[in-house]
Amino acid sequence: MTRTPKADAKGRKLSNFLCFAVYSANLAFGRAYKPILDAVGLTYTQYIAMIALSEADDQTVSALGEKLFLESNTLTPILKKLEQSGYISRTRDPADERQVRVSLTAAGRRLLDKEINASLVEATGLGDEFPIVQKSVVRLRDNLLHHTRGDSKKG
């Protein structure tokens, strides 16, 4: 009758939580990429930041942050490291000295050209499902962000 205090796991088992599924899938991605990225001296986050940088030159830290869902507090140290490694350049915008413009260097672009990513697509084991899962996860993320922010941001 009254629920037993312990074993009322019901829909609450760890394996049933979508949040946990995403949490652990993210850990799994990091570990799958690690041996590949170690070889070129990048961390997982640094790699993702470089992909975002490959989309356009002279992006501001904020613009990059919008793509990555990160802010300057997280991005600044990452970008400084990528600069030290010689993969990106950081310069204050002469027209507005508050902003920092970030671009890939030739070395950075060469590194991305290695098609690091391709080797991991098959490791997902998703096959034809791949694009569907991807769309679902993106939608999931956007719904969560929308729910969290109360759509305070533009559009």
- The mark string for 79-118 relative to a copy of itself (x by CB under 8 A, - otherwise) is ------------------------------x--x----x-
Contact region with a copy of itself (CB under 8 A), list: 65-73, 79-87, 89-97: 65-73
Buried b (16+ CB within 10 A) or exposed e, 58-86: ebbbebbbeebebeeeebeebbebbbebe
Residue 12 touches which of a copy of itself, DNA, none (CB < 5 to 8 A by kind)? a copy of itself
Applying CB under 7 A, the residues found at the interface with DNA are 23, 27, 30-31, 34, 43-46, 60-62, 69-81, 90, 95-100
Query: Contacting a copy of itself (CB under 8 A), which of 2, 19, 73, 95?
Result: 19
Residue 39 touches which of a copy of itself, DNA, none (CB < 5 to 8 A by kind)? none
Query: Contacting a copy of itself (CB under 8 A), which of 2, 73, 95, 125?
Result: 125
User: What gap in Å lies between CA 136 and CA 122, rounded to an integer?
Assistant: 19
- Interface contacts to a copy of itself, rule CB under 8 A: 5-6, 9, 12-29, 31-35, 44, 48, 51-52, 54-55, 57, 67-70, 109, 112, 117, 120-121, 123-126, 129-130, 132-134, 136-148
